[in-house]
Every structure is written in structure tokens, then in C-alpha cells.
Amino acid sequence: MSGIRVRTEGRAGRLTLDRPQALNALTWDMVRAIGAALDRWADDPAVALVLIDAAGERAFCAGGDLAEMYRTARAGDYDYGRRFWADEYRMNARIAAYPKPVVALMQGFVMGGGVGIGCHAGHRVAGEDTRVAMPECAVGLVPDVGGSWLLARAPGRLGEYLGMTGTRMGPADAIACGFADRFVPRAAWPELAAALCAGGDVAAIGALAQPPGPAPLLAERARIDRLFGLDTAAAIAEAAAAEGWAGAAAALAGNSPLSVCCALALVRGARRVDTLPEALGLEYRFTARSAEHGDFVEGIRAAIIDKDRRPRWRHRALAEVSEADIAAMLAPVDGAPDFAV
């Protein structure tokens, strides 16, 4: 099918994202194809493991097909996005709970929907060029696809920092923060894929893995914990600016204020639930409302459609976002899907 190659090779069920010209952005058809393949292989004795990789050098998957969501939302069809996210989140939960080993080889950009495919796998391989991020607040969304669950389990307050600013992680940071497991040099990936397919044994990863080197984010841990442990997004932004932390202050000031405030609430909310499906359910509360009541349509317009990088957010500053605004976006949704596998 267009956008993804599904096949078996040796002992492996193979899923290769194949839209390199679009940084392997995830379409609804791709979501459904992944789900169908996982269902088919779960009870197939010939398939010992699932291997997920991607075509091209620049990206494993840089996110979802936001242009189509923009088009439908602009036409007043808010249900399209809700149905897409429902299917996507079910697929994310399926990967995380899969009864067979799932290996993800994640090169280049691993963002948004790419995190949902790759970073819930049981065996997540990063290379030299891997760059993992949850940049949704920049387009009026929040870290979703189970990203809040992963962020909530990063050391200290790194989850709040990464989710609110969209900061990119290299391979060592991705491993330190729980978004990847092993570092294998890209030059060894063809050998690794061949070994996984031939033997159906994830021990092949350990045979080729190397130390990832130092994790720069851990060196910033004390400051991140102190500032991003504050009670509100506005207080965090004010403290970052007061300390002259220009990068964090600029990211917080540029992203959707509503999204940043809700991202903070979601990461902290994900620490209080026990399962990934529960975290996905909390995320869905926001995404289901994001086009009609949030900044999603304007964020996509500014970043992808018009590319003027001048979004007109519903709130001019973080301090303008009230507790009532946050509660309204994160209230339970009538008839919400169940993401339990």
C-alpha cells in the first residue's frame, strides 16, 4: 500500500514506513495498515518478532499527516481528526502491549506520531543521527500518541521540559529519558536487520550495541528540575526568563499558550495513572477538542500551510490561560474510545 511496505522476511514481520519525501509522515491508511499487520502476525507461529523501520535518511517518522487534518477541520469536519487519533492511539497501545518482540530502528527525526510508532516498541534502537522530540505545542497540540506517558517517566522534571519546549534529544538523551534503549551505529543497521530477520532473536541488538556517550540533558538536570517543577507554566516561563535561559524562554513564549499549559497538566496527570491506555485517554480529551476549541488549526496554518511562522494564538501569553481553560480542554469526552488492548 502507498506509504508503507508490509511483508514477512525470514522470522520477522516487517513494517517499513515509505514516504521519505514527506519525512514518513503518518497517514490514516498507514495507521490502519500497521494495526492490521499486527493483528495478523500476533498468532502467526512463523513470525517471531516485528521489525519497524523507515525508508530514507532524514526521518523515521516526523509526525502525522497534519495537512489533511487541517483541510478537514477548516471545512468544519472535526470528526475526521477524532477518528484518526482514536485509531492511532489504539495502534500505539497495541505496539506497547504486543505479545511478540517489536524492534524499531529509528533514524533521523522521530517526532510526534513517530514517537507513537517507535518509542512504545520493546526494543528501540537509535543511531548517530536520531533526533527525538515531542514538538506538538508549537502547532497547537499537546504531546500525545502516549508521549505524555513516556515524558512522565523521564528522570525528574525532564518530561515537563521536553513536552513544553519541544526540545530535541540526540541518541544518548533519548536513551536517558526512556525514549530509546540501545545505540547501534547506522553503518551496522543492515547487518542488524538481516540478523533479526534470519534468527528472530533480539539478542542480535546487544551484539552490535555500543555505549551512546554522554547525555547533555542530564547535565542540565538540576536547573530543569528546579524551574520545571514550579506549579504553573507561567511561573516556569517567568523563572526561565529571569535566569537568562533564552532557549527555554523563547520556546515557551512561541508555543501555543493553551497547549503549553495543558501539556504541563497532562505530563503530571500521566504520572498519576497506571497504564499507557489511561494516559492515551487523557491525551484524547485534548486532541478531540483541539481543532474546534484549541489552537490546532491556526498552528498548522502558520507552520505548514502558509508557513509565515506567525500564529495568532487564542491567548496572548501563558498568564492569560486560566485554570478553567485548562479544565475545559481536559474534561472527559462523552463517548470517548477505550484504548485498552
pLDDT in tens, 145-162: 999 999 999 999 999 999
Q: CB-based contacts of 106: which residues, under 8 Å, 6+ apart?
A: 54, 60, 114, 118, 119, 124, 125, 126, 127, 130, 132, 180
Phi and psi torsions of 231, nearest 5°: -70, -35
pLDDT at position 66 over 90: no
**What is the pLDDT at residue 191?**
98
CATH number at residue 198: 3.90.226.10
- Say what the pLDDT of residue 341 is: 86
* Count of domains forming the chain: 1
Domain for residue 161, yes or no?
no
Cβ-in-10-Å burial (0-12, 13-18, 19+) of 211 comes to: exposed
Q: How far apart are CA 116 and CA 122, in angstroms?
A: 12
User: pLDDT for 107-121, tens place per residue?
Assistant: 999 999 999 999 999
What is the tens place of the pLDDT at every residue in 300-327? 999 999 999 999 999 999 999 999 999 9
Give the C-alpha separation, 31 to 209, whole Å: 29
Asked, for residue 235, whether it belongs to a domain, the answer is: no
Residue 25 counted as domain residue? yes
pLDDT value at residue 320: 98
182 strand-pairing partners = 125
Contacts of 256 (CB under 8 A, 6+ apart): 137, 138, 139, 140, 294, 295, 299, 311, 313, 314
- Residue 297 covered by a domain: no
12 has pLDDT over 60: yes
Instruction: Give the pairing of strands 12-17 and 4-9.
Output: antiparallel
Picking from 154, 115, 120, the residue whose alpha carbon sits closest to that of residue 134 is 115
- Contact (CB, 8 A) for 263 and 269: no
List the alpha helices (DSSP H) in the chain: 28-41, 66-74, 78-96, 113-118, 147-152, 158-165, 171-176, 189-199, 203-208, 216-219, 221-227, 233-242, 246-254, 257-270, 276-293, 296-300, 323-329
Within a domain: residue 145? Answer: no
Region 268-293: mean pLDDT is 98
**φ, ψ for residue 99 (rounded to 5)?**
-75, -5
Would residue 56 count as lying in a domain?
yes
Indicate if the pLDDT at residue 1 is higher than 60: no
pLDDT band at 60 (very low <50, low <70, confident <90, very high): very high
- Rounded to the nearest 10 degrees, the angle between the axes of helix 158-165 and helix 246-254 is 50
Query: Is residue 271 in some structural domain?
Result: no
pLDDT confidence band for 65 (50 / 70 / 90):
confident
- Residue 26 lies in domain: 4-133+178-208
Determine the average pLDDT of the residues in 281-300. Answer: 97
In this structure, is residue 220 part of a structural domain?
Answer: no
Alpha carbons within 13 A on the beta-carbon side of 56: 19
Closest CA to 197 of 22, 47, 25: 47
Distance CA 263, CA 142 (A): 5
Reduced to 3 states (helix: H, G, I; strand: E, B; else coil), residue 211 is coil
Contact 51, 105 (CB under 8 A): yes
In percent, the amount of the chain with pLDDT more than 70 equals: 100
Mean pLDDT of 85-113: 98
Residue positions annotated with a catalytic role: 64, 113, 136, 144
Say which amino acid occupies 30: M
Q: What's the whole-model pTM score?
A: 0.97
